[in-house]
Structure 1
């Protein structure tokens, strides 16, 4: 089944690249490959800043853990697809960089299941502990 998906991807990549070259010439296609590869490398280099921003959203409970992981994963995949030569892969890579699209795809691929944490509905399940460290007095 994976071979069929790869062949469909390869066909679409060649088709989109051919149509792009008809409009913008092979030299324009070459420049597009260089530009998107540079953008992809830049995104990979700044991925840690994006992850820290999303970590703050996670701590403020604006996004779930699943969304945090999927957004980071899709940004990584999007950056790699921008580096890969080809116009179709660039289109998919750009789409993966948009958070709303990444969230939509993540919800389709990973149904709403809490893999990473347990949701508590009853406060009796929660144990609140405060650790107090005592420093011994010297005589």
Structure 2
């Protein structure tokens, strides 16, 4: 919740500052252009998804990379559709893999695999039954 409030505060501050410098018409054109770009990205998402599935099948990326590429692309497109300059800047940056990796690593929880004790012994057995029904 605190991240959302910080984002909202920064969005209002950045948008009012840039809008006062470039004017109302240019702000309106930027908002429409970024929304159209976000919609185009969402419409082409199925192609991006199929490319990422092929890269996953060819083992060019792992499952984490697959998830990061798809989620960051979708989230970036949604930020482009929403009005505001900060959201547009973040939405454009999320379309690039390096920036999305940095954001994922910053805000994701770090889970450590639990250490499982190694088994020091192995029991190997072969059961031989002389009953005629098994032959």
TM over 0.5: yes
Give 3-state SS (helix, strand or coil) of 1:85's partner.
Answer: coil
What is the total number of aligned residue pairs between the two structures?
Answer: 112
Aligned partner of 1:35 in structure 2 is 33
Give RMSD over aligned pairs: 1.8
Shift of 1:104: 2.5
Give 3-state SS (helix, strand or coil) of 2:23's partner.
Answer: helix
Give 3-state SS (helix, strand or coil) of 2:54's partner.
Answer: helix
* Cα shift readout 1:36-90 (whole Å, capped 9, x = no counterpart): 0000000000001111111121112111111101110010000000000111111
Aligned partner of 1:81 in structure 2 is 79
Structure with higher Rg: it is 2
Aligned partner of 1:20 in structure 2 is 18
**Unmatched segments (≥5 aa) in structure 1:** 115-139
Shift of 1:110: 5.4
Q: Taking structure 1 as the reference length, what is the TM-score of the superposition?
A: 0.74
Counterparts of residues 1-139 of structure 1 (less than 5 Å): 2=1, 4-108=2-106, 109=108, 111=110
Which aligned segments of 4 or more residues in structure 1 are displaced greater than 4 angstroms?
110-114
Aligned partner of 1:133 in structure 2 is none
CA shift in 2, pair 1:102/1:84, >3 Å: same
